[in-house]
Amino acid sequence: MSQRHPSVLVWQQYVENLLPNEEREPLEEHLYSCDMCLSLYMQVVENQEHRQPSKQMPQLTEQIMGQIALHQYKGVELLHKKRFYQRTIFHYAVASIVTLVLMWSGIFEQMGGIGSKLTQQANAADKHQWENNRMRTESSVAEQLMNKAVGLIDRLESGTEERRKK
């Protein structure tokens, strides 16, 4: 290694971490003071990245995939662990219990009695209305017959009066 500027090979060894610490420290100090060596160092780093992937890349990939798998596993567990009141069976059980309590208390029988009373009242009202309509129809027929009979009598009387006048 020259005193002034280290070679490309030295910088490659530095980047690959193959140099002992005693040789690395002066190179680091030199990078702070020499722009030309800094640009050479950057080129070596870029070439090194394109030549081979980082040795830590597989480890990083494994760590990330492990975290994803762990997270997905926890997500599956959370999907299966619903709270008891979020399950369908709980809703069916509550509906059954409420129905049994209402049946036992007699609410449905009372509601049935109200319904039958309303039905009876509606039937009675319909029957009364039907009778009223029938009576109106009958009276209408009777009135029509009466009107015809009166009209016929009037014609007969007018016909008899005309014969008398002649």
**59-115 pLDDT per residue, tens:** 777 777 777 776 665 555 555 667 777 888 889 999 999 888 888 887 767 766 665
Inter-CA distances, 74 with 6, 61, 69, 82, 85, Å: 53, 20, 9, 13, 21
Task: Classify residue 74: in a domain, yes or no.
Answer: no
Residues 93 and 148 in one domain: yes
* Number of structural domains the chain divides into: 2
Residues 98 and 156 in one domain: yes
67, 60 Cβ separation under 8 angstroms: no
Q: What is the pLDDT of residue 1?
A: 44
Q: Rounded distance, CA 124 to CA 117, Å? A: 10
Q: Rounded distance, CA 136 to CA 138, Å? A: 5
Domain range for residue 115? 89-165
Residues 148 and 98 in one domain: yes
Task: Classify residue 65: in a domain, yes or no.
Answer: no
pLDDT of 15 > 80? The answer is yes
- Put residue 125 in one of left, alpha, beta given phi > 0 → left and psi -120 to 50 → alpha: alpha
What's the pTM value of the predicted model, to 2 decimals? 0.32
Residues 102 and 152 in one domain: yes
Task: Classify residue 70: in a domain, yes or no.
Answer: no
